[in-house]
Chains A and B, each alone.
Chain A
Amino acid sequence: MTTDPALHSPAAPSPIVKLNISVRGLYDSWTHCQNLADYIARFAASDRFDPEQLTTRLSTYLNEVLEFVFRARPAEGDIVVAVGRTPEHIVVELAVPTDAALAERLRGDLARATGPDPRAQYAADFHAMLASPPADAGLLELVALHGIGLALREGPAVSTLVLSVPHE
């Protein structure tokens, strides 16, 4: 299942970087999220126009998704991060091992984050969020404030989060 494939799920380009991260390894430390996000972002932005700006943006977005996955506590296995480029976007795919319950949860979270008017949704939810931020709040913010395309592609025992980040 892909949420709104026509809008949010560009054909996956050939990856320029692909990393396998063990779920257990990721759980070792919360700071792995930012270290991974920084590394992958710097790699993907290295030969682009204004690599520092692109690194900052990519790392910000990727970190948010990695933190979401960290909190989702997927089953044992590997998380696979692949980054590719299209002429208009940088496409980040993050494949997460899932069981039925987690797949269902990701489906629900992604559906909320990619609703019809995410900006209005985020503004409406904002004060309630301060009392108790929902798990998908960071994802909703990516779509609502930062204009990031977000989609979910499901396969057997794996769900893939797809981020489409405009180059500028």
Chain B
Amino acid sequence: MESELPFSIRFQENDQEVILQGALRPAGPEDFAAVRARLDHAADAVRGVLYLNFKRLRYLNHTGFVELARFIADCQRRHPALRLKLVISSVVPWAPLRFGLLGGQFSNTIVEQYDKAFYPGQGVTETDQLVPVLRTQTNIVWAHERELLRRHGLARGMRVADICCGIGDFAVLVYKEFAPEYIVGVDHSRPFLQYAQQMAREFGITDIEYQYGDATHLFLPSNGFDFVTSRLALQIFNDPASILRELMRVCKPGGRVYLTNEMTAHNYAYPRHESVAWTYEQAVKIAQSLGMDMNFGPKMFSLLTDMGFEDVRMEQIPITTHNTPADDFARVIESWEGYVTGELSAATGQPPEVIERLRTGFRDHVYAIRSRRGFAMWPIYVASGRKPAR
């Protein structure tokens, strides 16, 4: 586990950033002296802002906390023009409490909760209203993925991590179908995780572990999993590569990382295809303004390849009116309508006429799904790569 991560401190002069990781539990000032020397060196070496990165500092005792506060107080005296930016993560439960206090005590100190900034669309992507659409989506896609996962290397008895697990239903399906030795789902939404836990409990499943976590800084061991999945998730982040690096870290050498993402602009319906096409293009732009790339799907092959994965496999799940029950398909699109014309539009301040046109496009998509002579599709891109054994 991450608690095994030894303490380390390093100064990246280019970024004006000191990164502290692991467990920092000094017995007293003498025990902290080496850390203090590194901090002083960094403060002496920079101008403007010095970033102190605590995202992976899992443990800090009160003595260490006081020593850090002393450093900040001394910095205020020695470098009055220097600002200290403490970068923390809500995943470390004590961090907002302690560093929040420091932010209030020292005028040279700003506290930034990194994961709130990293998940720009989180407020609109984690609400309970999304649960029904997520469940329906999983059901539709699972009909294809059940077999497809085998082609991408998932087998019985593996250690599996599902990162950005959402409401946890994929983990439940994998648990039932593939009987993993161990499976953990990680998400940054507490409401989703509570739902996941409740669902697992109702199904009498006690062997799935759910964790609150940040996909870019997981509390999971390195090289710990045979199969690491992240489904329909990378597309909602503005820095998918940082997540993929973390997925690679936790994957065993020789294990596989499995991703699914959409190309929303490829959603298609006929008749009324022009209205539908406009709506999805507009939805992509709105999501983009919140840091999401809803056309990320086809880019996965390049990203996996560039990152050094081997045996990269890519294919498409073609959800169409010919292979999916119309009611389920329509329910997904109706949920998108509610989400895009509701929360997403409100979050980005869309004018009423745009919202109305968006709504029309979604309804035209549903019309095509339900029409006897219509055709509609929702392509999902699937990619996986093997982590090199070396």
Q: A residues near B, CB below 8 A?
A: 30-31, 33-34, 38, 42, 47, 49-53, 55-57, 59-60, 63-64, 67, 123, 126-127, 129-130, 133, 137-138, 141, 145-146
Contacts and interface: CB of A to CB of B under 8 A. Distances in A.
B105 A59 contact: no
Contact of A53 (B3, B98, B101, B211): B211
Main DSSP-derived SS at the A contact region: helix
Interface residues of B, number: 35
Nearest to A30: B27
Contact of B212 (A50, A63, A129, A137): A50
Contacts of B60: 60
Contact of A126 (B93, B101, B210, B213): B101
Contact of B58 (A30, A56, A64, A133): A56
B73 interface: yes
B51 to A, nearest CB: 22
Given A33-B25, A34-B25, A130 B69 contact: yes
Contacts of B23: 34
Nearest to B27: A30
A51 B93 CA distance: 13
Contact of B1 (A47, A50, A52): A52
B129 to A, nearest CB: 23
Main DSSP-derived SS at the B contact region: mixed
B173 interface: no
Interface in B83-139: 91-94, 97-98, 101, 105
13 contacts: A34-B59, A38-B3, A42-B1, A49-B197, A49-B210, A50-B193, A50-B211, A51-B209, A53-B212, A56-B92, A57-B94, A60-B93, A126-B101
B1 to A, nearest CB: 7
A-B CB proximity, top 6 nearest: A138-B62, A30-B27, A145-B97, A52-B219, A52-B211, A34-B25
B61 interface: yes
Interface of B: 1-3, 23, 25, 27, 31, 58-63, 65-66, 69-70, 73, 91-94, 97-98, 101, 105, 193, 197, 206, 209-213, 219
A52 B70 contact: no
A56 B61 CA distance: 12
Contacts of B62: 64, 67, 133, 137-138, 141
B59 A56 contact: yes
A42 B58 CA distance: 14
Nearest to B74: A130
Contacts of A60: 59-61, 93-94
Nearest to A139: B62
A126 to B, nearest CB: 6
Contacts of B93: 53, 56-57, 60
Contacts of A64: 61-62
Nearest to B69: A130
Nearest to B100: A145
Contacts of B59: 34, 56, 59-60, 63
Nearest to B210: A50
B222 to A, nearest CB: 15
- The interface centre, meaning the residue of A33, A52, A56 with most chain B CB atoms within 10 A of its CB, is A52
Contacts of B219: 52, 56
Contact of B97 (A63, A126, A146): A146
B198 to A, nearest CB: 10
Given A53-B211, A67-B63, A146 B25 contact: no
Given A49-B210, A130-B70, A146 B101 contact: no
B39 to A, nearest CB: 15
Given A50-B193, A130-B66, A145-B97, A138 B61 contact: yes
Contacts of B63: 67, 133, 138
A69 B60 CA distance: 18
- The interface centre, meaning the residue of A38, A56, A67 with most chain B CB atoms within 10 A of its CB, is A56
Contact of B61 (A42, A49, A67, A126): A67
Nearest to A147: B97
Contacts of A146: 94, 97
B68 to A, nearest CB: 10
A146 B3 CA distance: 20
Nearest to B98: A145
Contacts of A67: 25, 27, 61-63
B25 A63 contact: yes
A126 B62 CA distance: 12
Nearest to A51: B209
B183 to A, nearest CB: 14
